[in-house]
Structure formats: C-alpha cells, structure tokens
Structure 1
Amino acid sequence: MPLDLEEQEHLDNFKDFWKKYGKLLTGLLTAILLAYAGYSGWQWWKNNQAMEASKLYGTMLSAVGKGDKEQIFRAVDDLQNQFGRTSYAAMSGLVGAKVAADAGDTAKALSYLRWTSTKATDSAYAGVAKMRLVAQLIEQGGDAAITEADQLLKEKPVSGFEALWIERRGDWYLSQQKIAEARTNYQTAWKMMLQAKELPDESRRLLKVKLDAVGGV
C-alpha cells in the first residue's frame, strides 16, 4: 500500500534524523547495556563472594568450637586473601587475633589486627581492630611496639571510637610512667563516655578502675 504524502514526509524525516544521530544513539544504547551488564555482574560477584565467604566463616566458627587452631588460622588466611572485601574477612581477623593472642602467638595476633585495621571495608570492624592493636602493642612493650602504638594513636579516630581512642592514649602514657598525662586523658575519656550512652557499661567500669589507679576524677 503506497504511503500518502504526510506518511512519506515522516519517513523521510526519520531517515534524516537516523542518518545524523543513529550512530550516537546506538553508541549510547550500547554503553547503557554494557553498564547494566557490568552492574549486574558486579552484584552477582558480590553476592557470590558473600555466600562463599559465609560458608568459610561458618567453617572457622566450627573450628573455634573444636579448639582447632590450625583450621581457624587457615580459614582466616583464606578469608582475608580470597574474600578481603567482605565483612566476614574483617570479622575473622578479630576472631583469629583473639585465638592467636590466647595461644601466645603475638606475632600472628598483631598481623591479623593490622590487616583488619587497615583493610576492613566496615569502619566499625576497623575501629575495633585498631583499638585492640594499640592495646596489644602497649602490653607487648619494647621500643618498636610502643612507637607503633604512638603512631597509630596520632591518626584520626574512627567515628564513634573517640572516647576509647583517648583512653588508649592514657594507657600509652601510663606505660611510659607519665601519670599526670595518663590521668588527664582518662579524665577526658571519662567525661566523653558519660555522654556516649551507646557504649557498654563495662567500658565505663574499666575506665573508672584505671582512673582511680592514677588519682581519680
């Protein structure tokens, strides 16, 4: 059926438009499709990573229940090496560090805490790891450990950990027999903790013991 003049005009206009902008539109459509495919692939990859990491984390918890340190450490290493961008890697680092410290393997405990404090994708896990790392370095003592703890404490604290950060600085001063400085930091941390209702009561009780030991409020 032949086109009437109006339909022919629309067709000619469309042909002109496509001749001018067809390649651009095709390129844009291709880019959109590739972006969507990339996003879908990324989501699949993340979900798959999380699923596999969850299974391995479960294996690690089972090993904790059995007291199998070798399997625990193997699982932690695999989680950090293969699934480092998942929260399970950070959680396993904290668990592995505790198991290693209890077993007297300070080097391994510090290694797990260093990894978690710098590579955890969740700032809360990074903050907890950094607090534990500083505490363990102070407990270990020695020039290298004390210097590393000092450098860590000079960094900006993770949000929500400010009071605990100042308390750790007090611990650092106390380890150096600087009682006045330790007391000042403990007092500051105490005032902040009284306002930080989200912190557990145990944190306040522990700080109060330290504060009383250096002269109280």
Structure 2
Amino acid sequence: MATHIQDQEELENFKYFWKSWGRWLFTVLVLVALAYLGHVWYQNHQLKKDQQAAEVLAQMVEKAQNQGDQNAIRADLADLQQNYPGSIAAAQGTLMAAATEFDNGKYDVAEGHLNWVLKNQKAPLVQALAAQRLAIVYLQQKKYTEALTALDTPVDADFEPLLLETKGDVYAAEGKAKEALAAYEQTLNKLPKEAGNRELLQLKADQLK
C-alpha cells in the first residue's frame, strides 16, 4: 500500500513537473536538434562548396599550363574570388595569379591580388605567404617603407622567420646593414636547427659583419 502511495506521489510530481517545465524542455530539445542539424547541413554545404572551388581552380591551372585564353583564366579567378572567397582554392588561384603578374612586371595588379588574399584569407600559412610576397612586390619597386609595413602583418610564431628574413633583405637592399644583420640574426634564433635555409641565412648575416 505504501509503495502504491509513493508511486502515485511520483506520478503526480512528474505531472506537475511536465506541466511546469516540460514544454520548455521540449522547446530546448527542439532548438538543440535544429542547431545540430544546421551544423551538419553547414558542414556538408561547406564541403560541397570547397569541392566546387577546387574544380574551378583545377580548370584555371589547366588553362594556364596550356597557355589558354587569358580572359578565360581571369574569369575563373573572378569566379573563385566572388563565389568561394574563403576557400583555400581561391587563395591558391589568387597567389598563382599574383605570381604571374609579378613575372610580367605588372606589380600593381600583383599587389591587388595579394591584398585580396590578406583581406579574405585567415589561414596562418596563407596570411604569411601573402604578406611576404607583397613585401617582395614592393621591394622590386624599391618601395622599402611599404615593404616593411607589409612585413609587420601579424602571423603565427611558426611563420615569423619567413617575414623576418625578408625584412632583412629589405634592409640590405636599402643599404641598412645594421638593421639587416639584426633581422637575420633574429631569424636564425627563431628557425629550427634542422631548417634547410639556415646555411644561406648564416651566409647573409656573415657578409654584413
């Protein structure tokens, strides 16, 4: 009998709990489920977009390798930048275009491409590469102040040596041996012992002593 009364009390407590809080809990569960489904949909959607961007990049690279129509190549690049701006494919395509324009002496166009990468791409390696190459574009034009400004772009610690070495190159080109040596030595201190470019970097530093 006592057990039956206890069961009835628990049932009444449950009914009260459900009446008071049940609908809110149900709403929360629905929201959580919708959020999860939204996350899954976003991931699948993003994967699909990345695949589409990779296909556009592949077409662009093939045209470039076969010395295809430049207007078609530029159209592919515009497609990447407009429709897939956050993708790695867009970064790769834009960096490739910047290199081509640099080789052709179109430094202003190369500069525009690299600034686009810095604005639209957040991957640490991509940011570091774009900043370093932008500095080289300025260095080629003897725009030393602009080059150093580009090299002040904040990057992950792993990529700081890349920018520091280039900063040394800028100072050396500018005739500032003391600053160049300091930049090279700073780079050596940050580089891993097994880094392949340590010997060349040490040679650069030694020539300034």
Q: What interval of TM-score do these two structures reach, taking the shorter chain for normalisation?
A: 0.7 to 0.9
Aligned pairs for 1:123-134 within 5 A: 123-134=124-135
- Alpha-carbon separation, structure 1, partners of 2:95 and 2:168: 23
Structure 1 regions of 5+ residues with no counterpart?
none
- Alpha-carbon separation, structure 2, partners of 1:9 and 1:167: 77
Sort the Cα spacing of 1:36 and 1:192 in 2 relative to 1 into closer, same or farther, 3 A.
closer
Corresponding residue for residue 201 of structure 2: 207
- Alpha-carbon separation, structure 2, partners of 1:12 and 1:33: 29
The CA deviation at 1:124 is: 0.8
- Alpha-carbon separation, structure 2, partners of 1:131 and 1:92: 17
Sort the Cα spacing of 1:176 and 1:74 in 2 relative to 1 into closer, same or farther, 3 A.
same
- Give the counterpart of 2:156 among 145, 155, 158: 158
Corresponding residue for residue 120 of structure 2: 119
Sort the Cα spacing of 1:209 and 1:75 in 2 relative to 1 into closer, same or farther, 3 A.
farther
Corresponding residue for residue 58 of structure 2: 58
- Alpha-carbon separation, structure 2, partners of 1:5 and 1:180: 91
Sort the Cα spacing of 1:72 and 1:206 in 2 relative to 1 into closer, same or farther, 3 A.
farther
Q: Does residue 178 in structure 1 map to residue 176 in structure 2?
A: yes
Look up the equivalent residue of 1:178 and give its one-letter code: K
- Alpha-carbon separation, structure 2, partners of 1:110 and 1:126: 14
Look up the equivalent residue of 1:52 and give its one-letter code: Q
- Stretches (4+) displaced over 6 A: 4-7
Structure 2 regions of 5+ residues with no counterpart?
none
Segment of structure 1 superposing worse, 171-180 or 39-48: 171-180
Query: Does the 8 A contact of 1:86 with 1:121 survive in 2?
Result: no
How many pairs align?
205
Aligned pairs for 1:34-45 within 5 A: 34-45=34-45
Identity of aligned residues (%): 27
RMSD after superposition? 2.5
Look up the equivalent residue of 1:89 and give its one-letter code: A
TM-score, reference length from structure 2: 0.84
- Alpha-carbon separation, structure 1, partners of 2:90 and 2:71: 17
- Alpha-carbon separation, structure 2, partners of 1:35 and 1:5: 42
Aligned pairs for 1:12-51 within 5 A: 12-51=12-51
Sort the Cα spacing of 1:91 and 1:215 in 2 relative to 1 into closer, same or farther, 3 A.
same
- Alpha-carbon separation, structure 2, partners of 1:98 and 1:208: 27
**For 1:160, what is the secondary structure of its paired residue?**
helix
